[in-house]
Structure 1
Amino acid sequence: MTAYLLRRAGGAIVTLLLASVVVFLGVHALPGDPALALAGQEGARDPELLAAIRERYGLDEPLPVQFFAWLSQVVQGDFGQSIRTSLPVVDMVAERVPVTLQLAAWSLVIAILVGIPIGVIAAIRQGKWPDHVGNALTISGLSVPNFWVGLILITVFAVNFGVLPASGFVAFTEDPVENLRHLILPAVVLGIGLSAVIMRQTRSSMVQTMSEDFIRTAQAKGLSEWSVVVRHGLRNSLLTVTTILGLQLGVLIAGSVVTEQIFLIPGFGKLIIDAVATRDYPVIQAVALLSAVAYIVVNFLVDVLYTVLNPRVRLEGGAA
């Protein structure tokens, strides 16, 4: 098991280094000049001012020099200062991360509570009406765009009934109840698409698991349907579902960008939209790199969890 985890950790480090290169080059490939954005309309006509701005932020250096200077700072936990606000990027990110994490956590809870039960029911009632309803819900969840769902929910629950706020955010430390009320609608928007993926994977994995010999053996022993489905079928099917959950982190991050704009939530997504609009390179690089780090770390944790759920991985890792 130790050898297996060490291989995974080494692969994660290599992936992170490659991700840092891609993030840096991708950000600098964006059209536009941050110096022009900072100088404004009047200053854009002043070559000396533009040169001073580029020199101050290191924009006049060759890309390799800029990259290694940025990477050396990042390793020390310093992401530089925002070109737009002159505030430390670390402070700006630290202020927004808890907001997006809360949104992502509630979305994940909703997706799991909806996706797994419906997927299990569709699998054990394969070919019957619960299966058809589950497939219809899956297709709908995957097909409907987040912004459309968000606008519909705002219209129904905020405008027509007035039971939930249409936008904004309240910190949990200020008012837990209002925090939950403000996050319900955006969490549902993000959770719908993820629940559809979980539903499909749970059904597919459960159908395959329920046809295995050990399931027929459990049924022959006279175990209850609940015991066979949950203790034997679902437990083994969760291996696939766990892997899918790790891979869907990128979907949550991408979906939060749109969702936070719709509901005016001051999170990670809104931060990167504002940064792209003003060509704020340090902020864009920090957000993109931290998103990649989160994706890599979560998938590494999924690998660790996989070894817990699947003893064969531990055995193979120990033998390697």
Structure 2
Amino acid sequence: MRQYIVRRMLMTVPTLLGVTIVAFLMIHLIPGNIVQVMLGTRTDVTPHQVQQLYQLYGLNQPLYVQYWRWLMQLLQGNLGFSLRTGLPISSLISQSFGVTAELAVGALILAVAVAVPLGTIAALYKKTIWDYLARGFAMFGLVIPNFWLGAMLVMLTSIYLPVLSVFNYVPFLTNPLLNIRDMIVPIFALALSLTAIITRMTRAAVLETMQFDHVRTARAKGLRQFTVNMKHVLRNSLIPITTIVGLQFGYLLGGAIIIENVFSLPGMGRLIVDAINQRDYPVVQSSVLFVSAIFVLINLVVDISYGFINPQIRYQ
């Protein structure tokens, strides 16, 4: 397994290198730059002063020079500094990522806690009212955009549940009760679509596993139905479920960007959106790279977890 992990980690190097190129080019292809954003409609600035600003921010250099300089900083473990505030980007990310991680992990826990039992019940009671209800809920969750759901929840809670409509983020360690109050609605908005996806995947995986020979053999031995379902059906269905959960957690980090802006949460989403609006190139580039690295790490953890779920799996 050690060799497999080392190999997988080495494979992430070209992936992250590609991410640096894409993140760098995409933000630089957006019209305008930080100098133009800062100056706005001011007319009292001379061309010489504008040129000095371009030189100060390094924007007078060709793109390949700017990219190489940023890449060399990354290789030294330096994410750089914000062009707008001058603060270290590492500190900006550390302040923001905690909110995004809490939102994503909370949504993942809620989705798994609801979807796995729901999908399993739908499969075990196929073509019954429970199956139809679960499939209907899954279809509803898939077609509802989270940004629309978030906006509707903001409106509904402000009218009917004002105690849950005060979206003023308080860290969990500072006040757990206020933190839960402020995060429960955003977590629900983010978790709905994921719950629908995992429900459908769980139902399909359980239905497929129920057709395996070892499941029929377990029933023929006279084992209790509960034992067969838990030990032989659900356990062997966990690999595709784990795969989709791991992949969807990466997408949760992206979906959190929208939810954070809807509910005014100070997470990575707001950090990236504000940096894009301000053309703060280093913040956008480093933030996108950081989120991508988290996504790659999650995929690695998911692959390794297969061996714990099914000991018959061997890593080559």
TM range (shorter): over 0.9
Q: TM-score, normalised by structure 1?
A: 0.94
User: Residue by residue, what CA displacement relative to the aligned partner does 1:252-278 show, whole Å, maximum 9, x if unpaired?
Assistant: 122111111111101111111111111
Q: Aligned residue for 1:162? A: 162
In 1, the alpha carbon distance for the partners of 2:270 and 2:6 equals 36
The DSSP-based 3-state class of the residue aligned with 2:177 is helix
Q: Aligned residue for 2:73? A: 73
Letter in 2 for 1:56: L
Q: Aligned residue for 1:14? A: 14
Q: Is the 8 A contact 2:142 2:193 kept in 1?
A: yes
In 2, the alpha carbon distance for the partners of 1:154 and 1:80 equals 36
The DSSP-based 3-state class of the residue aligned with 1:203 is helix
The DSSP-based 3-state class of the residue aligned with 2:86 is coil
In 1, the alpha carbon distance for the partners of 2:236 and 2:246 equals 17
Structure 1 unaligned regions, length at least 5: none
1:312 deviates by 4.3
The answer to whether the aligner puts 1:256 opposite 2:256 as a matched pair is: yes
Q: Is the 8 A contact 1:36 1:44 kept in 2?
A: no
Displaced runs of 4+ in structure 1, greater than 6 A?
A: none
Letter in 1 for 2:296: I
Over 3 Å counting, the alpha-carbon distance change for 1:144 and 1:27 in structure 2 is same
The answer to whether the aligner puts 1:47 opposite 2:47 as a matched pair is: yes
Q: Aligned residue for 1:103? A: 103
1:163 deviates by 3.4
Letter in 2 for 1:196: A
Letter in 2 for 1:46: T
In 1, the alpha carbon distance for the partners of 2:166 and 2:251 equals 23
In 1, the alpha carbon distance for the partners of 2:309 and 2:50 equals 58
Residues 1-320 of structure 1: matches in 2 within 5 Å?
1-42=1-42, 46-314=46-314, 316-317=315-316
In 2, the alpha carbon distance for the partners of 1:100 and 1:43 equals 40
In 2, the alpha carbon distance for the partners of 1:309 and 1:4 equals 17
The DSSP-based 3-state class of the residue aligned with 2:194 is helix
Letter in 2 for 1:110: L
Q: Is the 8 A contact 1:43 1:49 kept in 2?
A: no
What value does the CA root-mean-square deviation take over the aligned residues?
1.6
Q: TM-score, normalised by structure 2?
A: 0.95
Higher mean displacement: 62-71 or 37-46: 37-46
Q: Is the 8 A contact 1:190 1:255 kept in 2?
A: yes
Query: Percent of pairs identical after alignment?
Result: 38
Structure 2 unaligned regions, length at least 5: none
1:124 deviates by 0.8
1:3 deviates by 3.6
In 2, the alpha carbon distance for the partners of 1:43 and 1:234 equals 68
1:166 deviates by 3.8
Higher mean displacement: 73-82 or 135-144: 73-82
Q: Is the 8 A contact 2:250 2:298 kept in 1?
A: no
In 2, the alpha carbon distance for the partners of 1:148 and 1:24 equals 30
Instruction: Give the total of aligned pairs.
Output: 316
User: Residue by residue, what CA displacement relative to the aligned partner does 1:110-166 show, whole Å, maximum 9, x if unpaired?
Assistant: 110111111101111112221111111111111101122122323333421323134
The DSSP-based 3-state class of the residue aligned with 1:180 is helix
